[in-house]
Structure formats: C-alpha cells, structure tokens
Structure 1
C-alpha cells in the first residue's frame, strides 16, 4: 500500500513532456502542470494560443508557478539528497560521520568535525540541503535570464525579416521616384539618370547584404541560445549532489553568450540632390518602417 502511494505521488510530480521530476513547475489554464522550460521550448515556434501537451486544450502563453508542486518537488529532492548522503560513500573516512556540511570555497562535502578543522575553519560553510537549494535557485535565475535573450533575439530576427522586405520595397519606390523627378525636371539627362539609379542600386544592395548577414547571425545565435538553454534545463534535472559539484563553467558560458547579441542595423540611403525627391522618399520610408 505504501509503495502504491509512493508511486502515485511520484507520477504526479513527473513532467509529461520530459518524463523527469518537475523543475520549476508551472500550471496552465486547463489545470495541467509541466516544467517551465519544457513548455517554453515546446511552443517556441508557435503563435498563441497553443495546445496543452496532455489534453490539447488551447491556452495562452501565460505561465504561473505552482507553489504547492514546487514545495513538494523540493521535499522529494531533499529526501533523495538525504538518501544519497546516508550511503557509505558519503561518510567521512577520518571521523566515520555523515558529511552534511558543504564548503563553498572548496566545493567539498564535510562532516561536522572536518568543517571545524584548521583546513576549513575560515571557509564559508552551510548545510548541504541549503547549499543545494541555493544552487538550484541560481540555476533557475540563469535559465530565466537566458530565456529573455532567446525571446529578444527572436524579436530582433522577426524585425530584421520585416526590414529586409520593406527595404526592397523602398528601393523599388526610390528608383521610381528618381525616374519621375529626372523626367519632370531634366528630361534630357538620361545618362545621369541611369548613373544615379545604378549608384542607388549599389548602395541599396550593399545594405541588403548587411541585412542578410545580420539575419544569418541572428539565426545562428538562436540555435546557440536554444542549445545553451537545453543544457541548463538538463542540468536542472540532475540530483542535488550533481548540482553541488559546480556550475561555474556552464554559468560563464551562458553569461558570455548573452553579452554578444546581434542587433538590427540602421538602413539609410544618402540624400539625393534632386528637388522634391528627398522629402518624398523620407515620407515613404517613414510610413513603411514605422
């Protein structure tokens, strides 16, 4: 009976998407709960409303932390940690006592007597349970920060796609304006007209290539950010003992990746020395780009 209850309890704390214990559990409008990261990755390429992975009911991308489930998950993780620490492998060889103290300076598990020794007396110590929770919270904050960058990059990529289309339309409009102005003001200057158009096309094509290059950079950045997020997500599902071994390297890589975000470029042609053309083109550009 007790085993059946334990299994049922464990099932309720299992994410339907990743099939692991819930991490940062959130609940959607239909009542079902999942890992926050699992849901975010599942609907990244879909516009709202999206469907619940379990019942297929539509919902908007509004996620609320399930406080009760979060506390239950913490209890289960802490119990698993205590079980791991009670094994012979985690007993102090010198004092034969369970290692329940975490040394933050050396990232070591210590028994009470070792923590008071000369080697560790001046170091930062805390109970392993508290250290594990702190490390998990630190990891979840890093994931939240990275996800904001994922969203920002996606918005910039969409803006870049729109800009590329508008820029091609703008170049077509600009060419038409050049021809109109030349034929109205200088009907015999055909050669100058073609040179002017060629110059405009070259400049416009140069900017278009920059837009395409920037777009490719954003696509690559999206791939890198997503892979980094998945790596953090996988780490968040590890036992507390694994988290306490150190996340400094993965944090450094995540933070470094967020510092080098591609930004949209400014699109602008040089002013043209034809009366009426500059103002007309500026008006068109303003209507398109805003």
Structure 2
C-alpha cells in the first residue's frame, strides 16, 4: 500500500516533458509544473507571440515571464531522491517500472519510460527476449569462428584464464557484476 502511494507521488512530481523527476520545478499560470530547463526549451523551440505560450499539458496560454518556482514540488522531489526505495532487480532504478526493454545503443536494460526519455530518445531498443536472441546469435557466430581457428581459440582461452586469475587475485566475486 505504501509503495503504491509513493509511486503516485512520484508520478505527480515527474516532468511531463522529460519523464524524469523534476529538476528546478516551475509552475505555469494554469498550474502545471515542469522542469525549468524543459519548459524553457519547449518555449524556445516553438513559435510564440509576445511571450504568450501554450502549456504542453492542457494547451492553455501562459506568460513565460510568470513562471514561478514550485518549492513544495522541489522539496518532495528532494525527499524522493534521498529515499532509498527497496526495489526488485527487474525494476528500473529511475522509474521503478519493470525492465522489459534493452537499449542496443547503450547496451543496458531499460523500462518503457526510459525509452521515451531524452537519454534514450532515438536509440535502437528491443524487447529483452529479442535482444537475448540477437546476442545468442552473435555468441554462436563467435564460437563458430573460434572453433574454426584453433590458434585464435587458444589465444582467447588463455586471455579468459588470465582475466579469471586477475579477477580472483583482486578479491572480486562474480556476484558483484
């Protein structure tokens, strides 16, 4: 129950433009709140007449000069960022959503909100199962190549042994990966 309420609060302080927790939240005349940088970028990128602009959420007009810092939202965001939420391994650290996608560009698991965020916009993403198939195919191709060239196989095998020895000597464990 508490985590559901926390998720609702988190959703309320998520910028509707960048889909991240707000940074320097500011409110428009219509009462919607955005990251200062996001609403400024939106304002600059779209045509406007004499400082009048339409809210990206409700399309009501607002005066850019009337943007006001939202201290209450900033305080909530700060407290949310400070909290260490317990989350499952299959949940996004940023959004708490289930990790269902794989960003091939950054080679990392992401949630659907990450896919639409600035950080991953325009990146090549796949469902996890599809990405696993792509990597499995690549692995099989590499293994086939290694098996064809015995010297190359022995070189890679020696390299792997060296890495394993180095890893163990450094006190690292495979569970930390």
TM-score, normalisation: structure 2: 0.44
Q: Which has the higher contact order (CA 8 A, sep 6+)?
A: 1
The structure with more helix, counted as a fraction of residues: 1
The structure with more strand, counted as a fraction of residues: 2
